Amino acid sequence: MKRALITGITGMDGSHLADLLLEKGYEVYGIERRSSSKNRINTEHLKDKITFLTADLTDQGSLLRALRDSNPDEVYNLASQSFVYASWKMPEQTGDVTGLGVMRILEAIREYGKPIKFYQASSSEMFGKVQETPQTEDTPFYPRSPYGVAKVYGHWITKNYRESYDMFNCSGILFNHESERRGIEFVTRKISDGIAQIRTGLSNKIVLGNLDSERDWGYSPDYVEAMWLMLQQDTPDDYVISTGETHSIREFLDVAFNYVGLSNWEQFVGQDERYMRPAEVDYLRGDSTKAREVLNWKPRTSFKDLVEIMVESDIKKYRKENDRS
């Protein structure tokens, strides 16, 4: 039985990855930060199937102890300060966790001494002000946020340790991907949750920022499969994971509101400059040819299906709450 250690296991990707690894017969350990109240909403269904360990990407000693307690064959580093908008409010904390945190866990693995396959969650936000379209593994980075800058550091330190210490390190440059487990502060979940509140009579307005941003959106369960596939190869490498399609926030709203029978979403959606980024990333579209050819991976969930899955999940959530009350 293989053993895997996942940082950020209570997040969207972490919980979906845990589902996948359990299906494949892994023994799964998950790192969570110490806090006065545990946020295990995404992993509630896994509470008797995985082992939680307490550690933090800002504390290398705690990461080494987590390695000793789990003795993993594979480590998936999915933890970070992951909200791009918040990275301008907390640039130092973002750099410490999302950037230097990667170095700390790599150092902990090196000190532990056992051969461990390592996955780093890189991001399309590293491309920022895109230098070419579509973006590939060789496209130059031009990050446009403290989050993007921190992710570039994490990406390059992963590659550096691979080349310097012959470690099996892979980075997945994942383009935007969502699911029904996405945090409520992200625009896609803000839309699906807002529509669910409108449909259940709890609200009549959704307030957003830039509606013209265009993203390459996929479905998280499809993307965590790519993470796993990277660590099953004979040689470590980096891969762009994307759908190759681009959709705007307006298109997301079109699909989401049409799903609930509301065609004129403009009457329900407002904009607020407080939700605008100081430096915007306007257009992202990835080329995942390498992943398709080497990993034999491709996305299975369409943009339309992704949006409808999220909206339906939030509607069911509010209906259950109404039934209980």
Q: Please identify which residue in the block is written with the tokens 């993307």.
A: 223
Q: Is 44 in the active site? A: no
Bridge partners for 28 per DSSP: 4
Which is higher by pLDDT, 81 or 102? 102
Q: Residue 35: what pLDDT?
A: 64
Q: How far apart are CA 174 and CA 45, in angstroms?
A: 26
If you average pLDDT over residues 291-300, what whole number do you get?
98
Among 70, 80, 87, 123, the active-site one is 123
pLDDT of residue 301: 98
Quick check: 283 pLDDT over 60? yes
List, for residues 180-234, the tens digit of each pLDDT value: 999 988 999 999 999 999 998 888 899 998 898 899 999 999 999 999 999 999 9
Specify whether 308 is catalytic. Answer: no
3-state secondary structure of 237: coil
Per-residue pLDDT for 13 more than 90?
yes
> Domains in the chain, please, with CATH?
3-178+218-241 (3.40.50.720), 187-215+246-284+301-324 (3.90.25.10)
**Active-site residue 147, yes or no?**
yes
Confidence of residue 25 (pLDDT cuts 50, 70, 90): very high
- 91 Cβ neighbours under 8 A, 6+ residues apart: 146
Lowest model confidence (mean pLDDT) among 13-17, 148-152, 264-268: 264-268
For residues 82 and 94, give the distance between their C-alpha atoms in angstroms, rounded to a whole number. 8
Which of 27, 32, 74, 125 is catalytic? The answer is 125
Segment 124-179, tens digit of pLDDT = 999 999 999 999 999 999 999 999 999 999 999 999 999 999 999 999 999 999 99
- Checking if the pLDDT of 278 tops 80, the result is no
pLDDT tens digits along 301-317: 999 999 999 999 999 99
Whole-prediction pTM value?
A: 0.94
CA 303/CA 284 separation, integer angstroms: 15
∠ Cα 284 185 13 (to 5°):
65
Q: What's the farthest any 2 CA atoms get from each other in the chain?
A: 59
Catalytic residue (choose from 147, 223, 239, 259): 147
Structure tokens given for 222: 């499809």
Question: What three-state secondary structure class fits 244?
Answer: coil
Instruction: Specify the amino acid at residue 246.
Output: T
